[in-house]
Chains A and B, each alone.
Chain A
Amino acid sequence: MSNLTLMIVLLAVLAITYQLGLVRTRQIAGHNATLRMHSRPHHYGVMVGLWTVLPAFFIFIIWSWSAPWALNQLLIAQLPEHIVNDPQELRVAIRRISNLAANFGIVSEAATWEIQAATFLSDARQLSQTLMLALMTTVAAAGALYGYRSISPLYRARNHIEKILQIVLVICSSIAVLTTLGIVLSMVGESLRFFSFVSPMDFFFGTTWNPRFSTAGVGEGSLTGDQGSFGMLPLLAGTFLIALVAMSVAIPLGLLAAIYLAEYASPKMRATAKPIIEMLAGIPTIVYGFFALVTVGPFLSMLGAHIGLDIRATSALTAGVVMGIMIIPFISSLSDDIITQVPKSLRDGSLGLGATKSETIRKVVLPAALPGIVGAILLGASRAIGETMIVVLAAGNSPSLTANPFEAVSTITVTIVNQLTGDNDFASPQSLVAFALGLTLFAITLILNVIALVIVRKYREQYE
């Protein structure tokens, strides 16, 4: 029986037991004129259904997780010693035996011990499946009986269901936390593996980025010390250079646009222009990358040639300018919200003293909104630092330590992509370095985000 059928059966059982509970409740309620049922009939129905299905479902989950592992252990005990002792061979053998047991074909003739093991495995699987089904049926029946018999006017079915529901909700909301935990733990784990090859000093403060390819396995390279240099500084410099260019495009445009839309624009213009600008935020970054590569880059390069500047088509400038365009709406939208949150009474106070509108904006509204705007800018900067596709396509992928925006650079994100999508062995420092870079990136953006979020939140509370 496949898992899907099993789930369908469970659902059917749920529906049936729900009905049973419902009928039983109505019966009891009908007989009992003096005592009112504590909960509505469908609560009792759900209760019976859950008593039946939930324990069985848990057994299924636990079984599905543990049985393959247990079977594997049993299988290994069956295998000849020379196979078990060689991890490589063991992996191959287990795959072959699984395929045999599932009646798939395998390459080359099967050895006798393989056939024996396969027969054992297929029998054991059958047995395990039967055992599981038997256990599930028993537990479900017991649960159904218990649930059915506990229906009584005094039984607080609704409270029990709500408790269960609340637990489910708690589990769901813990997933977000688990994600963060997963990010941190997995990246720290892989980074530690990386730091067993390369010292953190060399990584964080090295000025040369030149990882070789790991073709000949890991061991030899690290023995001879010839595994390339993993200095992160050029990447960090490239990342910040591009972010700087991006912010110097996005801050003036975004902020001025926000000021105009919040303070000067007619409601009609605001209603039209705001969503159009915000569209920029919804465009996939790969599209910006393409735009940078085929349009903006050549244009800037041509412009540079006209005024006697040597601008590469793929450069920090190209990537930065396009990224700046992408970030405009992040800054304008958030700043707009923040500026409109500045209370009208402050504006009135200033205007009432005879200030012009621009004086009111510059001297009262903006200073009052400053913390919020700083928060918006920090969020924009964090976005710029973590952006990937634009830089992959348009930054030129040349890890050099330079402050010249007209040259090609590389960034942390570009390098993560390069190192993990190349033909590197997953366990080599060449691949593992991606996680160390990712951890660095996570830490930088985390700090920016937390500062920004705290500032924005404080600001909102101030005027709420």
Chain B
Amino acid sequence: MNMNSNNGSVSDNQLIKNKVAASLARRHRQEKLLRGTGLAAVLISLALVSLLFINIFSKGLPAFWQTSITLDIYFDPSVLQISEKPVQRADEHDNAFRQRDLEWRSEVGRINFNRLISTALMDVLPDAEQHRRHVLRMVTSGERFALRDMVINDPSIIGSTQRLHLLTDANIDVWIKGNIDRSLPDHQQQLSPIVRQWADALYANGTIKNRFSFALFMNPDSRSSLASAGLAGAFMGSLFMMLIVMFLAVPLGVAAAIYLEEFAPRNKLTDLIEVNINNLAAVPSIVFGLLGAAVFIGMFNLPMSTPLVGGLVLSLMTLPTVIIATRSSLKAIPPSIRQAALGLGASKMQTIFHHVLPLAIPGILTASILGVAQALGEAAPLLLIGMKSFVATVSVSPMEQSTALPVQIFLWQGNELRNFFEARTSAAIIVLLTLMISLNAVAIWLRKRFEQRW
């Protein structure tokens, strides 16, 4: 009792002071410990972010440039013996013309364009005569279709010589970039010795060069001609799905949020809906994939592997995010605005649509963009509705089979030609991340631009 009473007695005060002082060193050590570990945790987290980005970018950036070989291709008329390109006659029915055109195209398609390529290669490769069968290994197999398309577009180039940059075989890209151990014995190398020699020689004299890889952006996926595999198909698939999410999930979500926030009576039922929506936002994405497989494909018989189904699934997945975010931006509008409008005789509906909603739009927009960005990166549910199947065309409608950027990443990372596709996958990731970051940047910009403090 005595030690705790304080009659200003100096000795008691001193006693307590001493006790406090004795504890100080230990307590300040603990202070430093918590502060230090906290800082360490922040720094580790930041380091992990940068590690992830540095890793992906250092792997992926080189893949935006790809080796191609400069060849003077002679469009030899003796090889290209084809009839004239059909022109629609005045009295000709569309279908008839289309038929003729198709026949002509398949005629062109039957021509062996590889002969043009190998002829041109023979000119630049030393000792090509002895190694005839290796010559075509220099150029990726898809390039013959590029030549075919050139002829189809403009048959008048027949007979001329064109200087073209043709993509080299994927293995040559790997070899020249040093993505394979050059000291490996022959039987472990993917290229025969002569092709490796040629590649080095042509790279040295500038015939083979690293050029910006338009193929990565312009081409669809390819399995036969790996060097020309591109993201165009996946990009279109993702684009269609984003559009569907934008035009389905966003309006539905905003409407639902308006009802729940402004009109719904506060009772057990709305409480249940609220819990349900919050829970739905945390349901694993793969469950939405199962829903899509069972309902959209199993029950409604919608076509598999299409952006339509993918977009529907992603819309359902994004819906709760949009609802929650819209509700919170509606909540943030102060009641004074509502009271002012109601006080002037506006109906509840008018108050909300004329006064509350316009003020909440920046928040809603931001949330919607973030929701769309999240949907853009989602892969798991798409696998379940068949979007992992290989599609070698660029789809032009959401009803056609397609894949999506994240799924393309999944497909490429599993490709057997690891040396080539590790970089290409990373490049695809960079494209995906760039898209997502731009979407996020737009969202942040919108928020900053229209941010209002009450």
A contacts B: CB pair < 8 Å: yes
The answer to whether A356 and B28 have CB atoms under 8 Å apart is yes
Confirm or deny: A305 has a beta carbon within 8 angstroms of a beta carbon on chain B: no
Q: Are B35 and A172 in contact (CB under 8 A)?
A: no
Tell me whether B284 and A386 are in contact (CB under 8 A): yes
Query: When the two chains form their complex, are residues A383 and B282 in contact, meaning their CB atoms are under 8 A apart?
Result: yes
A294 touches B59 (CB 8 A): yes
Q: Taking the complex as formed, is B233 at the interface, i.e. its CB lies under 8 A from any CB of chain A? A: no
The reply to whether B291 and A260 form a contact with Cβ atoms under 8 Å apart is no
| B10 interfacial by beta-carbon distance below 8 Å | no
Contact of A356 among B30, B56, B59, B279 (CB under 8 A): B30
Q: Is the CB of B287 within 8 A of A172?
A: no
A253 in contact with B275 (CB, 8 Å): no
Interchain pairs with CB closer than 8 A, number? 261
CB neighbours of B410 from chain A (8 A): 286, 289, 389, 392-393
With A416-B286, A435-B290, A450-B279 already in contact, the answer to whether A277 and B45 are too (CB < 8 A) is yes
- Is A325 a contact partner of B287 (Cβ separation < 8 A)? no
A435-B33 contact, Cβ under 8 Å, with A177-B276, A291-B52: no
Query: Could you tell me if B349 and A162 are in contact, using CB atoms closer than 8 angstroms?
Result: yes
Query: With an 8 A cutoff between CB atoms, is A354 at the interface?
Result: yes
Complex contacts, B27 vs chain A, CB 8 Å: 356, 358-359
User: Given A287-B433, A417-B383, A453-B278, is A169 in contact with B256 using a C-beta cutoff of 8 Å?
Assistant: yes
* B378 at the A interface (CB under 8 A): yes
B2-43 interface (Cβ within 8 A of A): 20, 27-28, 30-31, 33-35, 37-42
In B258-286, the 8 Å CB interface with A consists of: 258-260, 263-264, 273, 275-280, 282-286
Contact of A182 among B37, B256, B291 (CB under 8 A): B291
B302 within 8 A of A: no
B293 at the interface (CB under 8 A from A): yes
**B45 contacts A158, CB within 8 Å?**
no
**Distance, CA A75 to CA B195, complexed state (A):** 64
B448 shortest CB reach to chain A, Å: 12
| Interface check A36, CB cutoff 8 A | no
Alpha-carbon gap, A283 to B379, bound state (A): 12
Proximity bits, B394-409, A CB within 8 Å = 1, else 0 = 0000000000001001
Task: Give A393 to B276 CA distance when docked, in angstroms.
Answer: 31
CB distance from B420 to the nearest CB of A (A): 13
Q: Which residues of A contact B380 (CB under 8 A)?
A: 285, 388-389, 392, 413, 417
- Contact across chains for B41 and A183 when beta carbons are under 8 A apart: no
Q: Which B residues are in CB contact (< 8 Å) with A264?
A: 35, 38-39
Contact flags A258-290 to B (C-beta < 8 A → 1, else 0): 011101110000000100110110111111111
Q: At the interface with chain A, which of B140-148, B315-323, B330-338?
A: B315-323
Q: Is the CB of A283 within 8 A of B41?
A: no
How far, in Å, is A375 (CB) from chain B's closest CB? 11
Could you give, for residues 302-344 of chain B, a 1 whenever the CB lies within 8 Å of some chain A CB and a 0 otherwise? Answer: 0000000000000010011001000000000000000000000
Residues of A contacting B388 with CB < 8 Å? 421
User: In B226-269, which residues have CB < 8 Å from any A CB?
Assistant: 251-253, 255-260, 263-264
In the complex, given contacts A256-B37, A284-B378, A287-B56, what are 15 additional A-B residue pairs having Cβ atoms less than 8 angstroms apart? A169-B259, A172-B255, A173-B257, A180-B280, A253-B41, A255-B41, A273-B46, A287-B429, A358-B33, A359-B27, A379-B282, A389-B380, A413-B286, A417-B286, A453-B282
